[in-house]
Amino acid sequence: MGVVIPFEGGEGGCRASLEPLVGLVQADMDRVNEAILARAHSHVELIPELAGHLINSGGKRIRPMLTLAAARMCGYPGEHHLKLATAVEFMHTATLLHDDVVDESDLRRGKEAARVIWGNQASVLVGDYLLGQAFRMMVETGSLEALRILSNAACVIAEGEVLQLSVSQDTSTTEDAYLKVIGAKTAALFAAAAEVGAVVAARPRGEQAALESYGRNLGIAFQLIDDALDYSGSTEKLGKGVGDDFRERKITLPVVLSYRRGTKEERSFWKRTLEQGNQTADDLTYAKKLIERHGAIADTIARADHYGDIARDALAIFPETPWKAALLEAVDFCISRAY
């Protein structure tokens, strides 16, 4: 089983870190950040204004970093990976804008959600604009294969979101069903982001598939840790309100496990709070207690670790380079967030 190896360095002193990856992609990422600002521009002022709010809210931009690092690890010497990375981040931003409308969230990355300031209408439409810009940039690279992969991802993400509408508020959701949701909703874009790095570098199918697998499994691990943090972390660490999933009545893995392992009375509690949406002030505290009682946080992290292992092994076919090491440490970092 994968063990979260404490790394030297970083402010905390002994955590795996995203720093090696951030450092390696820095020069590329500066140009992606410029492109993000340039491409969010429009003569319609509301568009850069609203998009800028989210763009400047300090997301880690892990998805475009995957594209950049994957392309460079594959020896790509050109510039098209910058456009694909920007497109990937725009697809993600568009999803966030639409998500906030769908979830009726008030916070995003610890800031007021765009929909609260500018309204649902503008959030839907600016999301559409960013998605259009993402496709424009893909077209500019001339890579039909990248377009194929990313348009597939766009469909799969939307399917995952719709699936979550029905799964959410069904406490009898199985772990498998839940994994399908996050496989589509989160992991598909991680997978596509990494895969197009190999595509732009014109690497053989095997390397393309390896990066797809790396991205997919990293994405699942990332989401599971997010789920765990929503019941155990701090708002600061999570970049969103702790307990949001509970308040928004989302069924996540900690709940799936606690529900299955719970008593009849406990299941009634989950049904009342998440299915019927009948929540009182103390319910989140009690929910955390139940999740703790059944070891559901520890086991969610263990599951994440399993997918992290698969992500690490997927990269085994690549020669040892600083790029590969940084991508491997990104897996450790992602999981160590839980501690």
Site string for a second copy, 159-178 (x = CB under 8 A): x-xxx-xx------------
Pick from 4, 73, 114, 131: which binds a second copy (CB under 8 A)?
131
Kindly state the number of chain residues that form the binding site for a second copy, as judged by CB under 8 A.
Answer: 40
* In the complex, least distance from residue 174 CB atom to a second copy, rounded to whole angstroms: 16
Residues paired with 107 in a beta bridge: 112
Which amino acid is it at 83? K
* In the complex, least distance from residue 175 CB atom to a second copy, rounded to whole angstroms: 19
Which amino acid is it at 30? D
Nearest to 91 by CA among 21, 173, 45, 146: 146
Tell me how far apart the terminal alpha carbons of the chain are, to the nearest angstrom: 17
* Candidates 65-73, 133-141, 311-319, 331-339; binding stretch for a second copy (CB under 8 A): 133-141
| Residue 147 binding a second copy, by CB under 8 A | yes
* In the complex, least distance from residue 203 CB atom to a second copy, rounded to whole angstroms: 20
Cβ-contact 277, 169 below 8 angstroms: yes
Nearest to 158 by CA among 127, 123, 137: 127
Element (DSSP H or E) covering residue 160: helix 144-167
Q: For 54, what's the count of Cα atoms within 13 Å in the CB-facing half-sphere?
A: 33
Alpha-carbon distance of 272 to 278, in angstroms, equals 6
Alpha-carbon distance of 176 to 167, in angstroms, equals 12
User: Which of residues 124 and 209 has its CB atom nearest to a second copy in the complex?
Assistant: 124
| Residue 129 binding a second copy, by CB under 8 A | yes
* In the complex, least distance from residue 143 CB atom to a second copy, rounded to whole angstroms: 9
Nearest to 227 by CA among 292, 295, 284, 304: 304
| Residue 157 binding a second copy, by CB under 8 A | yes
* Candidates 25-33, 132-140, 240-248, 322-330; binding stretch for a second copy (CB under 8 A): 132-140
User: Which of residues 43 and 264 has its CB atom nearest to a second copy in the complex?
Assistant: 43
Applying the rule CB under 8 A, the residues between 40 and 59 that interact with a second copy are: 42-44, 46-47
Nearest to 96 by CA among 121, 117, 123: 123
The secondary structure of residue 186, as a DSSP letter, is: I
Pick from 116, 125, 310, 325: which binds a second copy (CB under 8 A)?
125
* Nearest-10 Cα torsion for 134, 140, 146, 148: 80
Nearest to 66 by CA among 248, 280, 235, 215: 215
User: Which of residues 107 and 125 has its CB atom nearest to a second copy in the complex?
Assistant: 125
Applying the rule CB under 8 A, the residues between 205 and 244 that interact with a second copy are: none
* In the complex, least distance from residue 292 CB atom to a second copy, rounded to whole angstroms: 31
Pick from 23, 142, 204, 277: which binds a second copy (CB under 8 A)?
142
- The set of residues, in sequence order, having a beta carbon less than 8 Å from that of 245 and lying 6+ positions away, is 227, 230, 231, 252, 255
| Residue 251 binding a second copy, by CB under 8 A | no
* Candidates 138-146, 194-202, 298-306, 328-336; binding stretch for a second copy (CB under 8 A): 138-146
Alpha-carbon distance of 186 to 3, in angstroms, equals 23
User: Which of residues 126 and 290 has its CB atom nearest to a second copy in the complex?
Assistant: 126
- Binding footprint of a second copy on the chain (CB under 8 A): 42-44, 46-47, 98, 101-102, 120-122, 124-126, 128-129, 131-133, 135-136, 138-139, 142, 144, 147-148, 151-152, 154-159, 161-163, 165-166
